[in-house]
Amino acid sequence: MKRVLLWTPFALAALLLGLMLARLDAPHDETIASQWVDKPMPAFNLPPATDGIPGLAAADLATGEPHLVNIFASWCVPCRVEAPMLETLRARGVRVVGIAIRDTPKDVASFLSEYGNPYARIGSDVDSNVQIAIGSSGVPESFLVDGKGIVREQIQGVILESDVDRIVAKMKAMR
């Protein structure tokens, strides 16, 4: 008993240091994943983010067709990098809609004219309410939503070229 007690500090320290080593060894993922996957899109109705492109409502996502909902902003630098990938996805038959975060119609319009417009609809989420309601924590992010309006996947950060085939296949399968 006494011996156990005397070696307890050593054991506890070993545990703590082991934990620290494990943590150091596997740098943790710092992004916060949405818990809203496999849940229906919450009710929302966002006004158009810029002239000439309709806004976005939850009803637009429950039409029987799957959608890729892209959370973006004109002030977000990585979004510029992502724009060509979204264009590729659109060209391959993926329905891309956008939610513009904290943006103005003028900025959105110039962003689209400079980097292309893959979006069929863009809702303007000026105070991030819809973004928060689906558990998104930054821009850019994309949510794959099936034809019933249920969120099936969250993609955090920029969609890369290597992701395109998988996304196209998944969208087809969700049809």
Partner 1 sequence: MMRRVLLVALVFAAPLAAQDAVPPAEYAYRQLPDARAEAEAHALMTTLRCLVCQGQSIADSDAALAGDMRSLVRQRIAAGETPDQVRAWLVDRYGDWVSYDPPLTPATWPLWAAPIALLGLGGWLAARKLRRKRSGTGDGE
Partner 2 sequence: MIAETGLLLLWLAAALAVLQALAGFAGLSRRGEYVAISPAARPLAVLQGLLCLAAFGCLIALFLRTDLSVLLVADNSHSAKPWLFKFAGAWGNHEGSMLLWLTILGLGSIGVALFERQLAPRIVSATLGAQAVLALGFYAFLLFASNPFARLSPAPPEGAGLNPLLQDPGLAFHPPTLYLGYVGLSVAFSFAVGAMLAGDANRAFARAMRPSVLIAWVFLTLGITAGSYWAYYELGWGGWWFWDPVENASLMPWLAATALLHSVSVTANRDGLRAWTIMLALVAFSMSMIGTFIVRSGLLTSVHSFAVDPTRGVFILVLLALYIGGALALFGARIGKVASGATFAPVSREGALVMNNLLLSVILAIVLIGTFYPIAAEALGYRLSVGPPYFNRAAGPIALGLVALLFVGPLLRWRRDRLARLPVIAWMMLAIAGVGAIALVVLVPRSAILPALGLALGGGLAIASLLPLTRRSLRRTPATTWAMVIAHFGVAVALIGMASNAAFTEERLIALRAGETTTVGPWQVELTAIDPVVGPNWTAIEGGLVARYDGGAPTTLHPQLRAFTTPPTETSEAALLTRWKGQLYAVLGQPTSEGRWQLRLWWKPFVTLIWLGGILIALGGALSLVARIGLLRRARHYVRQVMP
Residues that bind partner 2 (CB under 8 A): 3, 6-7, 9-10, 13-14, 16-17, 19-25, 27-28, 30, 32
Handedness of CA 45, 55, 79, 145 (dihedral sign): positive
What is the smallest separation between the CB atom of 173 and partner 2, expressed in angstroms? 27
Residue 136 Cβ vs partner 1, minimum distance, rounded to whole Å:
9
With CB under 5 to 8 Å by kind, the binding choice for 23 among partner 2, partner 1, none is partner 2
**Which residue, 64, 114, 56, is CA-closest to 84?**
114
Interface with partner 1 in residues 87-106 (CB under 8 A): 101-104
**Closer residue to partner 1, CB minimum distance, 139 or 171:** 139
Q: In what order do the strands lie in the sheet with 151-156?
A: 122-125, 96-101, 67-72, 141-145, 151-156
145 interacts with partner 1 by CB under 8 A? no
The smaller minimum CB distance to partner 1, of residues 6 and 91, is found at 6
Question: Which of the listed partners (partner 1, partner 2, none) does 77 bind, with a CB threshold of 5 to 8 Å by partner kind?
Answer: partner 1
What is the closest distance, in whole angstroms, from the C-beta atom of residue 99 to partner 2 in the complex? 23
Question: What would the DSSP string read from start to end of 50-102?
Answer: STTS--EEGGGG-SSS-EEEEEE-TT-HHHHHHHHHHHHHHHTT--EEEEEES
The token pair that represents 168 in the structure block: 């196209």
Minimum CB separation of residue 171 from partner 1 in Å reads 24
Maximum distance among all alpha carbons in the chain? Answer: 79
**132 interacts with partner 1 by CB under 8 A:** yes
Asked if 124 and 55 touch (Cβ cutoff 8 Å), the reply is: yes
Residues near partner 1 (CB under 8 A) are: 2, 5, 30, 32-36, 73, 75-77, 101-104, 107, 126-129, 131-135, 137-138
